[in-house]
Structure 1
Amino acid sequence: MALLDIKNLTLYLDGPGETIKALEKVTFTLQEGEIKALVGESGSGKTLVVKAIIGALPEHWRVKADRLTYKGQDLLKMNYEQRRQIMRREIAVVFQEPTSSLDPSVKLGEQIQESIPDEFVTKKWFWERNKQRKEIATGLLHKVGIREHDRWMNSYPYQLPADVSQKIMIAMALASEPRILIADDSTRGMESTTKTQVLKLLLKLNKTKNLSILFVSHDLLAITTIADTITVLYCGQTVESGKVKSLLKRPLHPYTKALLDSVPSFQSALKTKSPLTALSGTIPSLQHLPAGCRLGPRCPNARKKCVQVPIMRSIQGHNYSCHYPLHLPKAGKKDPTDDKFGEQDPIKFNLINPALEEDSADD
């Protein structure tokens, strides 16, 4: 059973005279001990997915899903207190703006100690309990690579550099020894050495504590360093998901390919001082969503059929939502609206395309 199971998550925003779908049929699972990455441009809905999971959306926003479960428990049917208990102990979140999550009027040492569950403090007398809380807090700071614990524990949030703030938020998230850690762009703005330290820390926690991680980021290099699987979001929809190796080697959706092409490190043939590749246009506003495939107006492979909503298909665990996927052989009857592309039956590819079978064996 998946720790976190999300199927067809849809978020409705009721506006004046219309209802907008900020998220539409987002689907993915997070297995025990897995590191899954959510990737997409700003405005693709990554943070909204995180807030829907933890129940931090405004009350007038409506959330619907075929499944939104944690260890088989339906999160949407829980009352506030039940949801709060799970978020307090089982699922921890590190948001992309650490300073906004810290109390500016309280020293960091007090805030870290407050995040430690009472059951972890076993001493009998109050002076012993205070000492134990401080020792646990110090250990948490050391775990995330902060050695000058006295200096930072006696500081206020406004006195911290951005990278130290992020590390302290990670330390506070780990205080309850959660089963799932959701890192919402937790390495943004960090220097490369600090980012490497944080990524190594997350990998170590995943291996030694069997911690499941939902890693939300724009940073494809960081994602490919630590993630096992990737789910790509565009404009509130899941467009592709699968193993990291599979998506890097053969992206099926044009948007995934555009994201990879925008990173010079993935372009081995890119010459020095060559212009960087970028997908034209921007993500459409929620008030003016295109019909059918939401990538249509920006997609270099768009055809007439793209005005219809594509269905999610799967090839050996690699899921995609596109009428004209990349890197697949032509099969079946031709689409009468286009002479270049044909209708493709993903069920047949495992049998007629030996290359896919070979890649699957490699994975």
Structure 2
Amino acid sequence: MPLLDIRNLTIELDTPEGIVKVLEKVSLTINPGEIHGLVGESGSGRSLLAKAILGVLGPNWHIIADRMMWDGKNLLEMNAKQRRCLMGSEMAMIFQDPSGSLDPVKTIGSQLIEAMVPNKNIPFWRRSHATYLNAQKWLHKVGIKKPKMLMKCYPWELSEGECQKVMIAMAVANHPKLLIADEPTNSMELNTQAQIFRLLSQLNQLQNVSILLVSHELETMVHWCDNLTILYSGQVMESGPVNEMVAMPYHPYTRALLKNLPDHTKKMRHKANLPTLQGSAPSLQHLPAGCRLGPRCPEAQRTCVKQPKLEHIKDRYFACHFPYKSEQEDDDTIA
């Protein structure tokens, strides 16, 4: 049974210009112990999808979905109190804006200890000290060199990178079943990024923590993720196992993204132009009809003014009227 199963999720926002569909019929499935990547440009709706899963909703949000199941429970039928019980214990999220997510008038240590669940196997007179030592341990694991000193600091005394490490420590300290990481290595140096990804990989392999990794860096996602879902302007373009998508992308948008991955085995001419799609992503107030990639798609035809259905071939999903397919798959379809 999937840990998280979402079918045809639509998020509408009330704006001064009217109702805008920022996400339209998005489906997502995450299995236990899976690292699932969510890729998309800025404004594609990745962070909105992550917040909808966690239940952190805005006052002007309207959520419509055929199904939103969490470990056999229906998230749509839960009230606010039940959703809060899931947050932090079974689900956790590393937010994209770390300094804005921390309370500026509380020390780092008090906020980290407040977010941690005390170990009930330890006698109550030792729990406070044990939780304090556990908080230091997690700060050290995420790359803080002097955790005892940092726990006495306030968020405004730290850099963006240090605040991000504190947020990661808060998220992983309670060993959640699902960790939603929204740009977890933002504003970090390269060696620290590698350290954070190794920590997330250890949580996944040793403690079976499922991870939803949200990023726009496709090269990183290809290296760390088991499956990918690619969003464009609020619609799912393609989803499936990473190795299969890299070997044979079905959607024109996926192929355009993969062409931009650096190939270190070949020589590139100095200042050579990278392959790109013409145009830019549409604004939410002026979304095109049908497939939202249509005005930029190299394979677009008249049929693309109708929204394509999410097609299914084995473990692959794609939403395109004119997908790229291998000769073997074309023969299987004809047969």
Normalising by structure 1, report the TM-score: 0.87
Alignment partner, residue 89 of structure 1: 89
| RMSD, aligned CA | 2.0
Q: SS of the residue aligned with 2:168?
A: helix
2:61 corresponds to 1:61: yes
Q: 1:235 touches 1:283 (CA, 8 Å); kept in 2?
A: yes
Matches within 5 A, 1:169-184: 169-184=167-182
C-alpha separation between the residues in 2 aligned to 1:82 and 1:105? 28
1:83–1:39 distance in 2 versus 1, CA, 3 Å? same
Over residues 92-130 of structure 1, what are the superposed CA-to-partner deviations in whole Å (9 max), with x where a residue is unaligned? 0001111111111111111111111134573332xx333
CA contact (8 A) 1:6 1:65 kept: yes
More displaced stretch, 199-208 vs 321-330: 321-330
For residues 136 and 121 of structure 1, what CA distance do their matches in structure 2 show? 14
Cα deviation, residue 349, structure 1? 4.7
Q: CA shift at 1:34, angstroms?
A: 0.2
For 2:314 and 2:303, locate their aligned partners in 1 and report how far apart those are by CA, in whole Å. 25
Q: Secondary structure at the match of 1:278?
A: coil
Please give the alpha-carbon distance, in whole angstroms, between the structure 1 residues aligned to 2:326 and 2:93: 38
- The answer as to whether partners of 2:118 and 2:127 remain within 8 angstroms in 1 is no
Structure 2 unaligned blocks of 5 or more:
none
How far 1:59 sits from its partner (Å)? 3.2
**Partner secondary structure for residue 304 of structure 2:** helix
Which shows bigger deviation, 253-262 or 81-90?
A: 253-262
When structure 1 is superposed on structure 2, of 265-274 and 98-107 the one drifting more is: 265-274
Kindly report which structure 2 residues correspond to 1:1-363, keeping only aligned pairs within 5 A, or say none. Answer: 1-15=1-15, 18-120=18-120, 122-125=122-125, 128-265=126-263, 268=266, 270-329=268-327, 349-350=331-332
Q: Is the 8 A contact 1:36 1:214 kept in 2?
A: yes
In structure 2, the CA distance between the partners of 1:17 and 1:199, relative to structure 1 (3 Å rule), is closer
SS in 2 for 1:291: coil
Shift of 1:267: 8.2
Match of 1:8, SS? Answer: strand
Residue aligned with 2:87, SS: helix
Measured after TM superposition, the shift of residue 155 of structure 1 is 1.5
Following superposition, the deviation at residue 329 of structure 1 comes to 4.4
13-22 vs 57-66, greater mean Cα deviation: 13-22
Give yes or no for contact 1:4–1:69 (8 Å, CA) kept in 2.
yes
Return the offset for 1:281.
Answer: 1.8
Length-normalised TM-score, structure 2: 0.94
Q: CA deviation at 1:43?
A: 0.5
**Structure 1 position 272, deviation (Å):** 3.9
Distance of 2:222 and 2:283 partners within structure 1: 29
Indicate conservation of the 8 Å contact 1:121/1:133, yes or no.
no
Relative to structure 2, which stretch is displaced further, 112-121 or 263-272? 263-272
Give the SS at the match of 2:96: coil
What is the rounded CA distance, in whole Å, between the counterparts of 2:237 and 2:48 in structure 1? 16
Structure 1 unaligned spans of 5+: 331-345, 354-363
SS in 1 for 2:8: strand
- Would you say the 8 A contact 1:94–1:173 is kept in 2? yes
Per the TM alignment, residue 153 of structure 1 is displaced from its structure 2 partner at its CA by: 1.1
Measured at CA, do residues 317 and 310 of structure 1 come closer, stay the same or move farther in structure 2, by a change above 3 Å? same
Q: Which amino acid aligns with 1:204?
A: Q
Q: Percent identity?
A: 45
Letter in structure 2 aligned against 1:59: P
Return the index of the structure with the highest Cα Rg: 1
Query: What is the CA–CA distance in structure 1 between the aligned matches of 2:287 and 2:20, rounded to whole Å?
Result: 9
Cα distance in 2, alignment partners of residues 213 and 350 from structure 1: 34
Change (3 A) 1:230 1:349: farther
Amino acid at match of 1:295: L
Deviation at 1:151, TM superposition (A): 2.3
Q: CA-to-partner distance for each residue in 1:45-90, whole Å, 9 max, x for gaps?
A: 0001011111111233110111111101111110111000011310
Question: Distance between the aligned counterparts of 1:311 and 1:162, measured in 2?
Answer: 41
Cα-to-partner distance string for 1:308-359 (whole Å, 9 max, x where unaligned): 21111122211111111124449xxxxxxxxxxxxxxx7x653669xxxxxx
Deviation at 1:16, TM superposition (A): 5.1
CA separation of 1:266/1:9 partners in 2, compared to 1, >3 Å: closer, same or farther? farther
